């Protein structure tokens, strides 16, 4: 690999992209490429920083427990700089690594504040950072899910205690000594039982640690985090106001709550008693998305996070506003980007209501108006295309929806194709979900084997020109959007709609584009490498668009689909060009698959 290739590789990885060209050159001059076979220990982790070029590495703690896995472009030993980690690293498969002397990294870090901030941030400091910026971490501990306590008597045998620990999937055992409690963790079991070859019939109390650190249910989650940092521990005991143990709060639970799971905010949604409470939760979304984006959470995971919260808000509103009869005889659906679980910022409403045949309720229209007005108050703009339950076209019986679909199929025009595309992304939110599934099956049954119609349905995939000229450079807009590119028209829409067309043809019920691509690859419709390129290209374009939208919101400008080419780094320009090339290859695939050259 040439120096230029190494430089391009490093500049695509955070935090190395924070380095100046001269600093990157300093690192490259001291770069070595090393090769390890499967199941080999990575040597000299106390002397070098490693980045994976190819392969997979597993991190193990001093007890041999697997605690993390790392793949391509991951660096796994920055902790050595901050806390002298004693963990070991082993290859899971044949692995190729770049490695740089630790001293060089330290020297570069001393000259680059942002780079230093990243490599010196420990897990606990990351938690502290999140707590100071994220208002949800100031929730009371009583309002969040915690692990129930597993309590055994101190005379219980080690074998019996571990058996209960396994059956209840607990991460620790609390030991009752009568007048006090102790704790045994999985680490204690390895060190004090397995390595010490202790008799498993001995009392569990013999290996318990009595120095328990606790917090109250009335404390803030932030207080628990600070307590963990102060005592350098990974869990705290939770006690109620009467000093009774009610659970265990683990560090890993807090991190997973924030980084991957929407339950933390979802609890507030479920507890909300009014639209005003939902409004307060909804208004904080922008800040949450901004933090997740800045912390490096992948865009498609942010999409899922936001989508899950949106769905809970829509369901909560439906439960608040709909009559019991309406709940029992209808299904609330979302469509468009929300139906695909790809809406991050609140662009518009795309919702519908499927009614049971012959069901009538004089309050339906009143409910529809209240529902859409409430969403508007929560910050969800009205749909410009009027795809909302206030529109009778999107609020009707199952049979009426089927009749409309039959009409769309037999009268091909742009408006009908658009309506059908919107419906193919439907996702049930509340009510009788089987109505939505029956409608989806009806779409599949009438389209999947109709090759002629599928060609017309897929045709919009090639509707917009990919913004690359014949020399491989960008073709930017003129006039108001001079030097800008419309990312949606340039590539995002083509991938989404082309994949949507294939999903309908092959009866894939997933609505999320990334999930659809994976299913198409799994069913060998798309080659695995090409599917991976589509996923990475789509995510890169969506990430660019998210970053630009957040900037515009910060500047109090309306968010849109445009990115100014002059604001991109050289690496980002190269990656965008590569993404557009993947889009062109995908368009060629769709053209050939659906014989689009034969229709006009």
Neighbours of 470 (CB within 10 A): 6
What is the separation of C-alpha 541 from the centre of its chain, rounded to a whole number of angstroms? Answer: 16
Which two structure tokens, joined as six digits, stand for 305?
A: 């996070």
Query: Is 362 within a domain?
Result: yes
Give the pLDDT score at 304: 79
Same-domain check for residues 430 and 489: no
Quick one: tokens of 112?
A: 């680059």
Q: Is residue 236 part of a domain?
A: yes
Whether residue 162 sits in one domain with residue 94: no
| pLDDT value for 122 | 53
- Give me the phi and psi of 562, to 5 degrees please: -95, 145
Asked if residue 144 and residue 79 are part of one domain, the reply reads no
Kindly state the average pLDDT of the residues 15-40: 88
Distance separating alpha carbons of residues 396 and 382, to the nearest angstrom: 19
Distance between CA atoms of 489 and 493, rounded to whole angstroms? Answer: 6
Residue 496 within any structural domain of the chain: yes
Structure confidence by residue, pLDDT tens digits, 239-278? 998 999 999 998 766 655 554 344 456 667 777 788 888 8
pLDDT for 448: 92
Distance CA 474, CA 483 (A): 9
| Per-residue confidence band for 123, with pLDDT thresholds at 50, 70 and 90 | very low
Averaging pLDDT over each range in 7-21, 292-306, 503-517, which range is the top one?
A: 503-517
Lowest mean per-residue pLDDT among 66-75, 215-224, 533-542, 589-598:
66-75
Indicate whether 295 and 437 sit together in one domain: yes
Shared domain for 102 and 245, answered yes or no, is no
* Per-residue b or e along 552-589, where b marks 16 or more CB atoms closer than 10 Å to that residue's CB: eeeeeeebbbbbebeebeebbeebbeebbbbbeebbeb
Last residue of a domain, one of 403, 427, 447: 447
Specify the higher pLDDT residue, 395 or 69. 395
3-state helix, strand, coil in the chain (%, to 5): 55, 15, 30
> Domain check: are 502 and 409 in the same one?
no
Q: How many residues make up the chain in this entry? A: 600
531 or 343: which leads in pLDDT: 531
pLDDT above 80 for 537: yes
Structure-model confidence comparison of residues 36 and 186, the more confident one: 36
* Final residue in a domain of this structure, among 119, 143, 165: 119
Rg (CA), the chain: 28
Number of domains in the chain: 4
131 has pLDDT over 50? no
* Mean pLDDT in residue range 155-168: 92
What pTM did the predictor assign? 0.61
Pick from 233-237, 275-279, 304-308, 362-366: least confident:
304-308
Between 78 and 502, the more confident residue is: 502
10 Å CB burial of residue 48 (0-12, 13-18, 19+) is: buried
β-strands 48-54, 330-334 pairing: unpaired
Complete DSSP assignment for 400-421: HHHHHHHHHHHS--HHHHHHHH
Angle at which helix 364-377 crosses helix 299-321, to 10 degrees, equals 140
- Same-domain pairing of 347 and 423: yes
- Distance separating the N- and C-terminal Cα atoms of the chain: 46
Task: Clarify whether residues 316 and 255 are in a common domain.
Answer: no
pLDDT at 153: 95
Per-residue pLDDT tens for 421-444? 999 999 999 999 999 999 999 999
**Cis amide prior to 15 (ω within 30 degrees):** yes
DSSP letter for each residue of 185-236: EHHHHIIIIITTT--TTSBGGGG-B----EEETTSBHHHHHHHHHHHT-SEE
In this prediction, residue 346 carries a pLDDT of 74
Spatial neighbors of 152 by CB under 8 A, at least 6 apart, are 160, 161, 164, 173, 174, 175, 176, 204
**pLDDT digits over 59-84, tens only?**
787 777 665 667 677 777 565 544 55
pLDDT score of 40: 93
Report the distance separating Cα 576 and Cα 229, nearest Å.
41
In a domain, 454, yes or no: no
Give yes or no: residues 281 and 236 share one domain.
no
Q: Residue 206: pLDDT above 70?
A: yes
* CATH code of 567's domain: 1.20.120
Q: Which residue has the tokens 């209240």?
A: 370
SS3 state of residue 391: coil
Confidence of residue 388 (pLDDT cuts 50, 70, 90): very high
Question: Is 491 a domain residue?
Answer: yes
Structure tokens at 414: 């742009």
Distance CA 457, CA 452 (A): 9
Residue 506 is assigned to a structural domain of this protein: yes
Residue 135 has pLDDT above 80, yes or no: no
- What separation in angstroms does the CA of 217 have from each of 75, 103, 179, 183, 458? 38, 45, 21, 19, 55
Identify whether 124 is part of a domain: no
pLDDT tens per residue across span 140-149? 788 777 888 9
Q: What is the pLDDT of residue 263?
A: 47
Verify cis geometry, omega within 30 degrees of 0, for the bond prior to 143.
no
* pLDDT beyond 70 at 511: yes
Q: Distance between CA 56 and CA 71 in Å, rounded?
A: 5
Helix (H, G, I), strand (E, B) or coil at 334: strand
Non-local CB neighbours of 585 within 8 Å, separated by 6+ positions: 530
pLDDT at 250: 83
pLDDT at 571: 78
pLDDT greater than 90 at residue 473: no
Higher-pLDDT residue of 5, 314: 314
3-state secondary structure of 344: coil
**Rounded-to-integer distance, Cα 187 and Cα 165, Å:** 13
**What is the per-residue pLDDT for 182?**
94
Q: Clarify whether residues 159 and 214 are in a common domain.
A: yes
pLDDT, tens digit, for every residue of 340-379?
A: 989 887 767 899 999 999 998 889 999 999 999 999 999 8
Residues 255 and 279 in one domain: no
Domain harbouring 339, CATH code = 3.30.460.10
Whether 390 and 482 map to the same domain: the answer is: no
Quote the mean pLDDT of the chain.
85
Position 127 scores a pLDDT of 43
Structure confidence at residue 492 (pLDDT): 97
Domain that holds residue 583: 459-598
Dihedral pair phi/psi, residue 557, rounded to 5°: -110, 150
Q: What's the confidence (pLDDT) of residue 66?
A: 66
pLDDT of residue 296: 66
Whether residue 427 lies inside any domain: the answer is: yes
We report the CATH number of the domain holding residue 175 as: 3.10.580.10
Which of 427, 447, 467 is the last residue before a domain boundary?
447
User: Can you give the pLDDT at residue 252?
Assistant: 66
């Amino acid at each position: 690999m040439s120096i230029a290739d190494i430089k391009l590789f490093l500049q695509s990885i955070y935090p190395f992209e924070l380095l100046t060209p001269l600093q990157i050159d300093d690192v490259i001059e001291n770069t070595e490429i090393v090769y390890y076979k499967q199941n080999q220990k990575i040597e000299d982790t106390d002397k070098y920083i490693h980045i994976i070029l190819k392969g997979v590495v597993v991190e193990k703690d001093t007890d041999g427990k697997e605690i993390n896995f790392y793949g391509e472009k991951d660096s796994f030993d920055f902790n050595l700089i901050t806390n002298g980690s004693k963990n070991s690293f082993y290859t899971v498969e044949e692995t190729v690594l770049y490695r740089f002397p630790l001293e060089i990294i330290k020297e570069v870090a001393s000259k680059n504040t942002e780079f230093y901030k990243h490599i010196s941030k420990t897990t606990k400091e990351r938690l502290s950072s999140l707590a100071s910026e994220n208002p949800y971490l100031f929730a009371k501990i009583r309002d969040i899910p915690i692990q129930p306590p597993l309590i055994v008597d101190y005379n219980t045998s080690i074998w019996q205690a571990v058996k209960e620990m396994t059956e209840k999937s607990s991460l620790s055992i609390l030991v009752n000594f009568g007048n006090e409690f102790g704790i045994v963790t999985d680490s204690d079991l390895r060190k004090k039982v397995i390595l010490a070859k202790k008799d498993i019939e001995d009392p569990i109390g013999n290996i318990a640690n009595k120095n328990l650190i606790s917090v109250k249910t009335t404390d803030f989650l932030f207080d628990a985090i600070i307590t963990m940092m102060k005592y350098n521990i990974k869990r705290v005991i939770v006690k109620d106001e009467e000093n009774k143990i009610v659970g265990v709060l683990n560090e890993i639970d807090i991190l997973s709550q924030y980084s991957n799971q929407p339950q933390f905010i979802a609890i507030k949604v479920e507890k909300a008693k009014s639209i005003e409470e939902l409004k307060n939760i909804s208004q904080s979304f922008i800040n949450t998305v901004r933090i997740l984006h800045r912390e490096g959470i992948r865009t498609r995971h942010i999409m899922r996070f936001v989508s899950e919260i949106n769905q809970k808000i829509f369901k909560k509103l439906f439960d608040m506003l709909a009559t019991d009869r309406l709940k029992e005889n209808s299904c609330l659906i979302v469509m468009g980007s929300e139906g695909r679980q790809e809406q991050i910022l609140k662009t518009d409403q795309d919702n519908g209501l499927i009614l049971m045949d012959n069901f009538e309720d004089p309050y339906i229209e009143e409910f529809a108006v209240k529902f859409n007005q409430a969403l508007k108050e929560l910050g969800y703009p009205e749909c410009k295309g009027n795809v909302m339950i206030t529109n009778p076209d999107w609020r009707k019986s199952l049979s009426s929806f089927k009749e409309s679909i039959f009409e769309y199929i037999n009268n091909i025009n742009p408006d009908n194709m658009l309506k059908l595309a919107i419906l193919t992304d439907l996702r049930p939110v509340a009510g009788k979900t089987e109505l939505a599934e029956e409608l989806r099956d009806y779409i599949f049954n009438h389209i999947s084997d109709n090759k002629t119609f599928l060609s017309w349905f897929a045709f919009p995939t090639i509707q917009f020109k990919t913004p690359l000229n014949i020399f491989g450079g960008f073709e930017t807009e003129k006039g108001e959007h001079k030097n800008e590119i419309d990312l949606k028209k340039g590539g995002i829409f083509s991938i989404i709609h082309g994949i949507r067309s294939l999903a309908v043809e092959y009866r894939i019920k997933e609505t999320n584009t990334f999930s659809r691509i994976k299913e198409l690859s799994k069913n060998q419709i798309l080659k695995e490498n090409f599917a991976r390129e589509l996923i990475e290209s789509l995510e890169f374009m969506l990430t660019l668009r998210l970053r630009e939208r957040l900037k515009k919101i910060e500047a109090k400008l309306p968010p849109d689909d445009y990115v100014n080419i002059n604001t991109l780094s050289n690496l980002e320009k190269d990656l965008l060009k590569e993404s557009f090339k993947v889009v062109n290859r995908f368009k060629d695939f769709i053209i050939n698959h659906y014989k689009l050259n034969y229709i006009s």
